[in-house]
Amino acid sequence: MAAAAQPLPQTNTSTSGRIIRRVLLIIGIIILIVVAFVEIIPFVFTIANSFKCLPAINAHPWAFIPVPPFGVDCVQDGIPLPANATVQGLTFNPSLDGYRTVIAQDLPRWFMNSIIFSVAITICRLITDSLAGYSLARLKYIGNRVIFFIILGTLMIPGVVLIIPRFIMLQQLGLLNTYQGLIIVLASDAFGIFLMKQFFENVPHEIEEAAQVDGASRFTTFARIILPMATPALVALTIFSFQGQWNNFMDALIIIGSNPLLWTLTLGLSSLQGVSGETLIWNMFLAGSVITTIPLAIVFFSFQRYFVEGTAYSGLAGQ
């Protein structure tokens, strides 16, 4: 009797358990879809509205389906087209007005400067970080550990604290508002060194020993044999550094902010802004935002695995 009674409540709980599980599953999927929707919508509508005439953006921000005629002129015979002339329901006639306006605002120069800074800083970091990482991982000398802790310690210094002294120091060195000024300040970073060090520590010792038996110098061994093996770490370092510098705002603002010839995309975009948030030329801003994001989106979608793994790694390592 007791033995027969036992399975009964168990089937009961498993049926109710199954219902609970199904409810949880549905709630889970709903949460996931809602959040994904919320995360994506701003980008979709930014792209759509960057192709609209200004009155249409202000009156109908939700129209997002482009329909012909394409490339409408927002100003015809000196009069701006009214909002309803280019929007019907959720459809709109795309225009390149926003892009034309933002490109007229020196955007090509900002774009070039962003590339110059991001690439130069990334190259500097690849060199300094991999050399330092190798030295700390593999070479034995007095002070090795102390140097590592000094470098790691710089991770704890908040960027905001550095803006004033860096401004003062670069001013004294005559490097304020120069390309070199911003590049040298950011030419190395503790995270990159840490990443490279971790990688080199896992390279088998035999490989170096074999090279040294052949009489290769330390530098040759490093440059010819060890470094090529570190390609995955170097790629991760490259994309993280490029992304960080492409988006860098605060350092650029302080160091090159008063020389418009050196402005990057982020500085340029922020400078376009007037005082009032309600009367801005939104198609220009949105077009600028799209142009700023495209190179990063390309890098992101080509190397997504590295971004995800790098972020996950920083989390696991940070514990």
Partner 1 sequence: MTQQTAATPATTAAAGGTMRSSKLQEAITGYGFVAPALFVLVVFMIIPLIVSFYFSLTDWNGITPLDQGRITEDNPDGAYEIVGLENYTRILFEPGIRQASFYTALKNTAYYTLGIVPVQTVLALVLAVIVNQRWLKGKGFFRTAFYFPSITSSVVISLIFMWMFTSSGLVNTAIKAIFPQYTPVTWLDDPNGLIHLFLNTIGINPSREAIRMCDPATLQFWGCEIASIRLWDWFSGPSVTMATIMILNIWTTIGTMMIIYLAALQGIPSQVYEAAYVDGANAWQLFRRITVPLLSPTTFFVVTVGLIGSLQVFDQVYVMTAGGPNNTTLTVAYLVYRSAFKDSRMGLAAATAIVLFIIIFLFTMAQRRIIRERN
Choice between 74 and 246, CB closer to partner 1: 246
Stretch that binds partner 1, among 70-78, 156-164, 203-211, 225-233 (CB under 8 A): 156-164
Segment 277-296, which members bind partner 1 (CB under 8 A)? 277-278, 280, 282, 285-286, 288-289, 292-293, 296
Stretch that binds partner 1, among 55-63, 71-79, 83-91, 201-209 (CB under 8 A): 55-63
Does residue 84 touch partner 1 according to CB under 8 A?
no
Q: How far is the CB of 218 from partner 1 (least distance, A)?
A: 4
Q: For partner 1, which residue of 75, 270, 298, 302 counts as binding (CB under 8 A)?
A: 270
In whole angstroms, the minimum distance from the beta carbon of 27 to partner 1 comes to 9
Residue 276 C-beta: closest distance to partner 1, Å: 9
SS (H, E, C) the chain: CHHHHCHHHHHHHHHHHHHHHHHHHHHHHHHHHHHHHHHHHHHHHHHHHHCCCHHHHHHCCCCCEECCCCCCCCEECCEECCHHHHEECCEECCCCHHHHHHHHCCHHHHHHHHHHHHHHHHHHHHHHHHHHHHHHHHCCCCCHHHHHHHHHHHHHCCHHHHHHHHHHHHHHHCCCCCHHHHHHHCCCCHHHHHHHHHHHHCCCHHHHHHHHHCCCCHHHHHHHHHHHHCHHHHHHHHHHHHHHHHHCCHHHHHHHCCCHHHCCHHHHHHHCCCCCCCCCCHHHHHHHHHHHHHHHHHHHHHCHHHHHHHHHHHHHHHC
Least Å distance, CB 282 to partner 1, is 5
Does residue 219 belong to the site contacting partner 1 (CB under 8 A)? yes
- Among 4, 172, 213, 274, the residue binding partner 1 under the rule CB under 8 A is 172
Q: Which region among 79-87, 100-108, 155-163, 229-237 touches partner 1 (by CB under 8 A)?
A: 155-163
Shortest CB 203 distance to partner 1, Å: 15
Residue from the set 141, 202, 205, 215 that interacts with partner 1 by CB under 8 A: 141
Write the CB contacts of 238 (distance below 8 Å, at least 6 apart in sequence). Answer: 122, 126
Using CB under 8 A as the binding rule, whether residue 241 contacts partner 1 is answered as no
Q: With binding defined as CB under 8 A, does residue 91 bind partner 1?
A: no
Question: At which residue do the structure tokens 């800074």 appear?
Answer: 117
Segment contacting partner 1 by CB under 8 A, of 93-101, 104-112, 225-233, 301-309: 301-309
From 68-76, 99-107, 166-174, 223-231, give the range in contact with partner 1 by CB under 8 A: 166-174
β-pairing verdict for 65-66 and 87-88 = unpaired
The reply on whether position 58 binds partner 1 by CB under 8 A is yes
User: Of 110-129, which residues contact partner 1 (CB under 8 A)?
Assistant: 127-129
Distance CA 246, CA 121 (A): 10
CB of 223 to partner 1, least distance (A): 11
Binding of partner 1 by 104 (CB under 8 A) = no
Contact status: 273 vs partner 1 (CB under 8 A): yes
Residue 62 as a binder of partner 1 (CB under 8 A): the answer is yes
- What strands lie across the sheet with 65-66, from one edge to the other? 65-66, 91-92, 87-88
What value, to the nearest 5°, has the Cα angle with vertex 78 and ends 72 and 79?
75
Single residue of 53, 56, 83, 151 touching partner 1 by CB under 8 A: 151
